[in-house]
Structure formats: C-alpha cells, structure tokens
Structure 1
Amino acid sequence: MGASPWIVSDGLWEWIEPLLPKRERRFRYPGRKPVPDRQVLCGILFVLHTGIQWEHLPQELGFGSGMTCWRRLRDWNEAGVWQQLHEVLLAELNAAARLDWSRTVVDSSHVRALKGGSRLARRPSPSPVDRGRAGSKHHLITDGHGTPLAVILTGGNRNDVTQLMPLLDAVPPVRGRPGRPRRKPESVFADRGYDHDIYRDQVRARRIIPVIACCGTAHGSGLGAYRWVVERTFAWLHGFKRLRIRWERRADIHEAFLKLACCLITHRQVLSLAGPAN
C-alpha cells in the first residue's frame, strides 16, 4: 500500500526546503517552538487532497493547528515559493526535453464559491438549479503533453478570450537548456471560447501561431486530438478536492492551492523521468 498523498517525500522536500524563507530565531523571548515546516506542509497537503476545513485538521497527525498551516501557506505564497518551485521543476523537464514547445493549449473551468470573497462573479447559466451562483474561473495553459505552465484565477463571469494573452504572459522563462530561457511556444490551441480576430492578431504579433476553433462551425474540427491534454490536466487539478469548490474568501489563498497543485502535477512528471522504479 502506497504512502498517503499528503506525506512529503524526501525527494519533494529536497526541492522545496531551499526555497522556504528562513525565520529569524528570537533569543530573548523565544516563545513556543514552531512546528517544523515539513510537518506544516503535510498539513497543507492534507487540506488540499481531502478538502477538509482548516479548523478540522486532525491535531493527532502532528501537522500543527489549522491556523498555523493557513499562515504558512499565505506566507510561502507571498514569498513566491510555489512559483519558484514550479519554475525549477519545469527546468528539470526542459533539460530532459520533456516539454513540448511546439504547441500550448489553453482552457478554463468554472468552480462554485460557497463563502464569497474576492475575484468572484455571478455566472449566468441556462440551468435553473445553477443560475446566479457565485463562482470563480481557473484559466490554465499547458504544454503539448499537458504539463501545466501557468494558471490564473478570475471571476466566474470573465470571458475566456480576455485571459488568452495574460496566460501567455504568465508562462515563466524556463531554463534547463543552452541559451536563453524559453517561454514562447510555436503555437497555441484553443476552443470556440477564444474565437476573436483581435486576439488572433495579438498572438500572431508575438510570432505564435493561433489554432483556434471558429464559432458556428460544426463539431469535429479535429482540434480535440490536441486539446484533450488540457482537459486531462483539469481532471488532475480537480482530483485535489480543495479545488473542486472554492472555500477561501481570500483569492490569494485559493491561488496558492492552485499553484501548489500545479507544482505537484509537474513533480509527478519529473518523477516519471526516472521510470516506474521511482
């Protein structure tokens, strides 16, 4: 039986530990000894995987309190830990020629928000059971293999096409190969929600080929043979129960979970480089 998914492996910890900000030790009034970062990270992963509320985090597992885990997640996100970790893992894949820069794929997914907060909007829906519920959108860009390159959180009523250029901008400079870091793909694939000539022109201006389905055309354009990878990555993201519904009032906390989940998915891709034995 495999280890619980919230247990931080030695390999993952080796990637994360150097990126964590160092806390200054107080000598005069040291106070209570802080919970070790690795145990707190296990608690954060427990919430991400199970969707449990912070206040219900099991104390007997040694994670520290829910508030302790919440604060560390906030502080590490503000320090850019997840962004740095993602870039390091992408560089590892790039060095092994496992990133497909011939195309990127973009898409979005709506998630309900039950507690309100920022970056929310009412989503118009034809369904009488879903109409007017508050929600947010996850906007995702992956490489041709489905490896997440960047993710953006917006209100649920934000038009997909408005996030096409921000997603391309959000792709970090990826090292790992000789020469300058790479962040620009050869093409970008998208569905009908991104069909707009103005944005096609903006993509072409960056010397990227837009491959976008046109509104009004029949289904079966053939783009599904390339676009399915982003749908699979969304399935991986929403395999983390905390991301299926937005419980956080603060957008930065939900974004932190999103970025951490992208890091975990990318880390799985890195582990695959060594084969099944790992």
Structure 2
Amino acid sequence: MPAPPRLLLTMAGAATIILTVLATALPAAADDPLSLRWWDSTGIQADGQVESDEDRQQILASVSSADDEATPAGGNSAAGPAPSCAWRPSTAVAGVIGQVLPEDVPVHEADRVEPDGSTSRLYARVCADGTVTDWQWFTLANVPGLRTSAVDDVGRRLPLPVPVLSPDLARGLVVNVATWFAAPAGQWAPVTGTAEALGLSVSVTALPVELVFDPGDGTAPVSCAGPGATFDASAPPPAAAPDCSYIYRDASTAAPNGRFWPASLSIRWSVTWTASDGQTGALDPLITTTPIEAVVHEYQALERNGS
C-alpha cells in the first residue's frame, strides 16, 4: 500500500506541523468523510475528519484539545511559566492547507464570507515555544467597521451640556434683558474613543466647537463659538451683550403651555478619525442637547407723579 500523502507546514520560530491523509481511511465516495491526522515536532498528535466545509474547524479545534491535554515529548508541564502566545493568521502556519486533499473534498480557504456579509479569517494561537494551541475564526478588522464602533463609543461618552444661564434660571429670565448662556468649562474638552481588532485600531475624537441656544419662542437658534461667558455681578457691566446671549421679547405666559418656553442648549462637536494604518478623515458633527424650561417674566416700570 502506498504511503499516505503528507504535507509539511512550517512557520518561522514555530514547531513543524504535519498533516497526513490516513491511507486506511480514504473516502470511497465524495460524500464520505476523510480521516486526517495532525502532529507537530513536539510530539502532539490529533485526529479528525473532513465531512463538509464546517468540519475543517473541528479538525483544527482538535489540535487545541490535544495541546491542552498533552505535554511535549520529554517535556515537563511544571518546568516553568507558560510561554507567551499570540494570534497569527493561519496562512503564516498553513498557507497551503488543503492541497493534499482530493479535489472532491471541500475545505475552507483561509478566509470565508459569513452570512451577514462580513469576512472571517482563520487564526492560529502560536506560543513563544513554537506550539500552536488553538485555532479560531475572527472577523477581519476593517476601517469602516472599527470607525463605526469608535463613533458609538464616543457618542456614549459625550456629556450633555449643563446650562448656565444669567439671569439665574431658578429665578426666571426677564423680557428685554439679555440672557447669557454658557456651558461649564469642564465640559469643553475633547472626547476620544478607540476600537481595535487584530492589529488595526481606529480612534475617533469629538471636539466641542459651538454652543447653540434655542429659545423655544419661535425665533431662530443663536450660536456662538466656545463655551460662553458667565455673568459676573461684581465686574463692570459690559458695553454689549456677548455673542452667547439672547433677548426674549415676550413673557413665557405667551407660550403654548402658558408657563415656559421649551428652550434647549446644545453643544456641536466636530468629529475626526485616525486609523493605525495612516488613514484619517472627518465625520458628520455630533450634537448633544439639554432641554430647558425657560420661564420668562415681564416687569412693568411704574412712574409716580410728583406733587
């Protein structure tokens, strides 16, 4: 009986892995299972079968099972600390896997397309001593996917603006008196989120650039650069109201609910991204908003005739 075909698979700094098609178990028909045997230069051995595309994972997983249970020939599992391991593309270990199999036996390529359209790649967990301890399919990292994840991360971390109004909102705003609006300086800082997978990372940074006050009385929102200024009663009054201000012309009793104007304060964030492979770009701005119940009073000046 001729010797079973054998494929020698090597990787720099790793143990030699050999795949053998067992001569005693060659399939009689295309649909019959094909028996395979794996072993490496450390003496670890495992058997498996290929019956369909999915069964290739079973064979590769059997290597992991054998490695977990066996100790390399002549070795001692208690001799020292476990070696460090890293995931590497299976092509670095078994770039030509499957070439020893009959043409009518289907096996996976190094990459495969998942039902959701994404692409997965077979990775080997290779340790510093050269042993392969596991095989797994991982979804390939791609810049658009990681960028979306990083944007989602940033979006979850962006703070809602804390409105700082002068006059004090608790006492009520006043008709024909400039209302200063601002956000705390501590909120005026960049927020960064990062997503990474399989050696590729994408960082997304949101930078606050503009404060927007919507008075809620039917007029257009007012915007200004920066976090706005807070009114200091001890300082000399400014010659003009700051850019981050608005003057109500009607009391909130004229609002549809008769009590307050449905105002809001927003921060507009510019968003940029950078990938570890050198790609960069800009994304649509993000906006965080806090609603405000703006109670606006109107005071009438009284004149008294002298006697």
TM-score (norm 2): 0.23
Name which one, 1 or 2, has greater alpha-carbon Rg.
2
TM-score, normalising length: structure 1: 0.25
